[in-house]
Each structure stands twice: as structure tokens, then as C-alpha cells.
Amino acid sequence: MPRVVVLVAATALCAAFTAGCSSDDQPRDELMVTDNPVAATPAHSPVPTATPAGTVLPLATPVTAVATDPTTRTLTVASGTELRLYDLDALDKAPRALTLPGAAESLTLAGDGGAVLAAVPGRVVRVALPGGALDESAVEGSPVATAMFGGDTLVAVRDRKQVAVLDDGQVRRVISGSLLSADQVFSTGPGALVLDRLRNAVFQLDVEQGTFGQGLRAGQGSTNGVVDRWGRVLVTDTRGGALLAFSLDPLLMRQRYPVAGSPYGIAYDAKRDLAWVTLTETNEVVGYQVGGEEPVERHRYPTVAQPNSVAVDPETGRVVVASANGGGVQVVRP
């Protein structure tokens, strides 16, 4: 397989995409031009031909998101409006089941642990772990993803093409302009980034000023991302078949590494510096060492069918892969 590492200067791109680096309500720039005006989606998985590695917890309903909390040792699994809380150290025990006020598209750890945030239509739900108490924050539109930025919570609101900023559970600011769709939001600590699947682009966020900054093309159809311990945002280019790495200060595409099999879900193990990527076209999950000049494949395992979601337990290194068509929740110890 050829190895490709691409370096892109943000200044050059922003010179070409002038309006894309502003907060105009009706942007007119090269980032609006795309051969694929429809957001990329995971490939339809074939019937598995290999036995999934590790252990599979049965779950007949499609899973939309998974997350692990190392502080409370809890695995959270979202399936429609149901949220299941598993004991990470006793997965054979029956999970605690909760009902959310809407179907969750994403789950994100809140702060240093002890809670998970579920993005559902019209609100963000904070779920205390391991007890399961719910605390709701109203957000107009359809929130789809969250990220912690200092003491604030950033919320990607897809249908409104906005990022809402929550402070103590209340919307303090709404950042709009430049986006066709707000699909994921990331915090690196000092910086923030939003992924627009329709524009196949990422944009910097100035949270305090309430504006969008520089923008860069993000492959041919990027879908999901995660922040690594180097402060980069790793993004799966599902349509383009690649793993991308972006830095924020300045905004650069540091790497573009080819990944066959329709990469989709992604999780990151900071302790081992491994990015786990699911391949929905081949029913596999691959672990890449990402601290060097280019990703290096370290692990590859067969998975449950339609492996759209993945999470990792940083304490043990176990990888959790969830099926989006009723194939269950898989736990693998590399």
C-alpha cells in the first residue's frame, strides 16, 4: 500500500478560500464547490465471513454511539432512545437501562469523567455515571455532537448550521455563518474545530469572539474525528479512503494516509497513542500508531457487522466496537 503524507499551508488555502475564512451568512468560496454535495455515509457492510474477535455482547437493536468513562469504569451504549450502562470491569453483568428524551447520535465524556453527554433532538442530556441521573439543557434544532471547551460545552447543531456554546447548562452564544452543516466539534484545549460534512471541510472556531476562522478542505467525504494527545484532530475520510490529521495553530493538514475499506468510526487511546478506525466495507477495526511521521498499522481484527461506532478503554486498552444493524457490542483486548 502506498504511503502518502501531505502538508498543506493554511495561509495559501485561505487566500484561495477568502470567504471561507470569514463568518458571512452566505459564503461564496471554493469550499462551496464539491463534486459530492451529499454528506458521506458508512458503507453498507457485507455479511461477516469471519468470527468477530474478542467477546460480543448481544444487542438486537442498532447502536448509534458508544463511550467509555475510565473514572467510573462505565461503558455507555446508545441505541435509539435507550442508553445502556455497563460495568467495564464486569461486562457479564446486566446493564442498567435508561430512557433518553430522544435518540442519541453521539456520546461524549463530560470534563474529567463521571458523566457523559448525549446529543439528542432539541437538547443535550448530561448523564451522571454510574448512577444514571439525567440533567437536560435545551438547544434549539438538532444537536448531533458535543465537546468540552474549558468550562463551556460546544454543541454542533446540524440543521441550523451552528455551534451553540453552553455555560452551566444554558446557551450563552450561538456561532453561525460559513457552514452548510455542523456535524462534529472538537476541542484541543486552546483551540476548537468544527467539521462540515456537506462542505467536506473543517473550520476553526473562535469561541470567545463567536466567529468561524480559517477553513480547509477535509478530503472527499469526511465523517468522524477525534483529538489526539498531540493536539491534532484525526479525521476519517470515508469517501476518499484516508485518515487525515489536522493541526489548529496554524490550521494545517499534517497527514493524509490511505485507508482502504471505507473508514468511518474512530476512537483514540492516548496512553498507547493508537487511533482505532472501523472499516464498514470489510467489517474490520484497525489500530494505527499515530505519533510518528505517518500512521503505522499495529492491529487488525474482524468485527461485528456494520461497525459504525468504536470506543476504547484507556486503562486496559480494550476496544469496543458496536454494530449499527443489530449485531451486538464487541469487546476486544489487543
pLDDT at residue 32 in the model = 55
pLDDT at residue 77 in the model = 98
pLDDT at residue 249 in the model = 87
pLDDT digits (tens, 9 = 90+) for 95-152: 999 999 999 999 999 987 799 999 999 999 999 999 999 999 999 999 999 999 999 9
pLDDT at residue 13 in the model = 40
C-alpha cell at 59: 444487542
Percent with pLDDT over 70 in the chain: 89
Report the DSSP pairing between strands 170-176 and 184-187: unpaired
pLDDT digits (tens, 9 = 90+) for 239-275: 999 999 999 989 999 999 999 999 999 999 999 999 9
- What number is the average pLDDT over the span 81-87? 98
Residue 12 parent element (H or E):
helix 10-16
User: Is residue 35 scored above 70 in pLDDT?
Assistant: no
CATH architecture, domain defined by 55-332: 7 Propeller (2.130)
The overall average pLDDT reported for the chain is: 90
C-alpha cell at 212: 468561524
Q: Where are the domains of the chain?
A: 55-332
Interatomic CA distance for residues 151 and 146, integer angstroms: 13
- What number is the average pLDDT over the span 177-203? 95
Interatomic CA distance for residues 330 and 7, integer angstroms: 36
Interatomic CA distance for residues 268 and 266, integer angstroms: 7
pLDDT at residue 21 in the model = 39
Sequence letter at residue 293: E
Residue 308 parent element (H or E):
none
pLDDT at residue 63 in the model = 98
pLDDT at residue 178 in the model = 84
pLDDT at residue 205 in the model = 96
Interatomic CA distance for residues 172 and 167, integer angstroms: 6
